[in-house]
């Protein structure tokens, strides 16, 4: 459903509705088993959209949130956040438009404001993995496998302006996207995916929240990376395995979003002390991979100061540094592990 500025009887004008780029909704309803973008390959049930995210496509934030500009009966331009997700939701922000006009030296006329147009049917390259390859992936990743173009676009993008505008404008033809997106559910499935990719000569790119602004989840061009590319969405690995309040330690899976982790830890009366602005969507694994920094770093440190140990799935097994003798290829970390300082060798966290 595409929403453009519409004047209603109450003079409400939607200026920044996160839903408006969600152009696949109608398509999904009417043509559920077909690719949305011409050029995508249709492979039966594998085409179904498995990303049930509430996140907007082509905009930062949730589908049910967004700023709305209303003109009230007295002609005042009042901005409010729609939905009820945030404390600010529904509250009239009557001074925002004058503030923006003043600061940015622009005039905001809602009745003349138009949203950028976008191409409803952008074409992206065909998935290069054969049906038998897709079936192998599907057997491993119990969370789902998708060659649906919207999933592939999102997983080959981040949240930079270039990402958002290329999705909105449909100017995706020159970009390469993952051939497939998979959703493993646990570490064993990740290990199996890595082994399969090594055997089939496929390239894997992990995907956390996709909030990077550095093109970190962009697929390298064919000349640099000729192998087919699979995006491994980590968000189903989102469990808090244990919390040891006494020692201030927690063992958490890498795909958990910051928002979910914060609310889980809140139940124990503890905080992780890491609050990047992207906290609602970015994930623990993404923070570690990008060496993220949060607004409370002066007190708690950056992510590399907060993380005590990581388990890394590689082709030759699982790497871990301080797992207290829990056995090769185990990701189990002993609750009572003292996490002593690293005295010799390379610190695995720094390698990541
Ligand atoms: C509005 C906004 C605010 C932001 N605020 C901050 C901020 O305050 N501080 C800050 O540091 N950054 C910030 N960022 C940038 C971004 O949120 C961080 O870089 C974040 O750490 C990325 O995490 P992610 O889960 O979204 O990772 P993704 O974007 O999904 O991936 C980033 C990289 O990490 C890799 N990766 C992801 N998960 C894993 C995994 N499990 N294992 C191995 N590799 C993995 C990916 O392959 C990719 O290379 C912001 C971005 C936005 C859009």
Which tens digit of pLDDT belongs to each residue from 217-227? 999 999 999 99
- Tokens linked to 83: 């939905």
Say whether pLDDT at 324 is over 60: no
The span from the CA of 184 to the CA of 167, in Å, is 26
**Averaged pLDDT, 114-118:** 62
Element (H, E) at 67: strand 66-71
Confidence of residue 37 (pLDDT cuts 50, 70, 90): very low
Say whether pLDDT at 165 is over 50: yes
Ligand 1: atom nearest CA of 281 is: 26
Query: Residue 117: its pLDDT value, please?
Result: 60
**Averaged pLDDT, 271-295:** 95
Q: In this structure, which residue's CA is closest to atom 15 in ligand 1?
A: 212
Probe residue for ligand 1, chosen from 209, 278, 296 as the CB with the greatest number of ligand atoms within 8 Å: 278
Query: Residue 121: its pLDDT value, please?
Result: 54
Domain boundaries, the chain: 12-22+57-104, 240-351
Whole-number Å distance, alpha carbon 350 to ligand 1 midpoint, is 17
* Binding residue ranges for FAD: 277-283, 290-293
Probe residue for ligand 1, chosen from 18, 225, 290 as the CB with the greatest number of ligand atoms within 8 Å: 290
**CATH code for 240-351?**
3.30.465.10
Find out whether 210 and 155 touch, Cβ atoms under 8 Å.
yes
CB atoms within 10 A of CB 305: 12
Whole-number Å distance, alpha carbon 143 to ligand 1 midpoint, is 21
CB atoms within 10 A of CB 252: 21
Cβ of 257 below 6 Å from ligand 1: no
Ligand 1: atom nearest CA of 289 is: 34
Q: Which ipTM did the prediction report?
A: 0.99
Looking at the DSSP bridge assignments, the partners of residue 16 are: 67
Share of the chain above pLDDT 70, in %: 75
CB atoms within 10 A of CB 22: 19
Counting Cβ atoms within 10 Å, is residue 94 exposed (0-12), middle (13-18) or buried (19+)? middle
Q: In this structure, which residue's CA is closest to atom 1 in ligand 1?
A: 278
Cβ of 35 below 6 Å from ligand 1: no
**Averaged pLDDT, 156-184:** 90
Looking at the DSSP bridge assignments, the partners of residue 249 are: 244
Say whether pLDDT at 38 is over 80: no
The span from the CA of 227 to the CA of 222, in Å, is 8
In the block, residue with structure tokens 């189903």: 236
Say whether pLDDT at 238 is over 90: yes
Give the torsion sign (CA, 116, 124, 120, 149).
negative
Whole-number Å distance, alpha carbon 301 to ligand 1 midpoint, is 17
CB atoms within 10 A of CB 187: 17
Read off the pLDDT of residues 178-216 as tens digits, 9 standing for 90 and up: 999 999 999 999 999 999 999 999 999 999 999 999 999
What's the whole-number average pLDDT of the chain? 80
Triad 326, 329, 180: Cα angle to 5°? 140
Q: How many CA atoms lie within 13 A of 118 on its CB side?
A: 26
């Amino acid at each position: 459903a595409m929403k453009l500025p519409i004047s209603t009887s109450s003079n409400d004008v939607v200026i920044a509705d996160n839903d408006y780029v969600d152009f696949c909704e109608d398509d999904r309803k009417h043509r559920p088993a077909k690719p949305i973008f011409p050029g995508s390959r249709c492979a039966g049930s594998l085409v179904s959209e498995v990303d049930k995210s509430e996140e907007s496509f082509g905009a930062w934030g949730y589908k049910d949130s967004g700023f709305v500009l209303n003109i009230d009966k007295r002609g005042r331009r009042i901005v409010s956040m729609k939905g009820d997700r945030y404390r600010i939701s529904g509250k009239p922000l009557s001074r925002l438009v004058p503030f923006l006009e003043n600061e940015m030296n622009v005039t905001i006329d809602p009745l003349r404001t138009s949203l950028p147009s976008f191409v409803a049917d952008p074409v992206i390259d065909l998935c290069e993995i054969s049906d038998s390859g897709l079936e192998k992936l599907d057997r491993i990743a119990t969370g789902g496998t998708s060659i649906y173009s919207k999933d592939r676009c999102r997983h080959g993008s981040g949240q930079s302006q270039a990402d958002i505008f290329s999705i909105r404008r449909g100017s995706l033809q020159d970009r390469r996207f993952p051939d497939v997106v998979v959703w493993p559910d646990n570490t064993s499935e990740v290990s199996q995916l890595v082994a399969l990719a090594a055997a089939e000569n496929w390239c894997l790119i992990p995907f956390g929240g996709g909030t990077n602004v550095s093109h970190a989840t962009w697929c390298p061009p064919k000349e640099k990376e000729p192998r087919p590319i699979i995006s491994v969405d980590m968000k189903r690995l989102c469990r808090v395995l244990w919390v040891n309040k006494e020692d201030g330690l927690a063992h958490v899976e890498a795909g958990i979003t910051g928002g979910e982790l914060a609310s889980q830890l809140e139940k124990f009366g503890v905080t992780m002390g890491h609050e990047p602005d992207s906290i609602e969507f970015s994930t623990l694994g993404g923070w570690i991979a990008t060496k993220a920094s949060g607004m409370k770093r002066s007190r708690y440190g950056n992510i590399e100061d907060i993380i005590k140990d990581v388990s890394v799935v590689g082709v030759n097994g699982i790497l871990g540094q301080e797992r207290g003798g829990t056995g090769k290829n185990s990701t189990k970390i002993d609750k009572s592990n003292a996490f002593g300082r690293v005295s010799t060798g390379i610190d695995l966290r720094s390698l990541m």
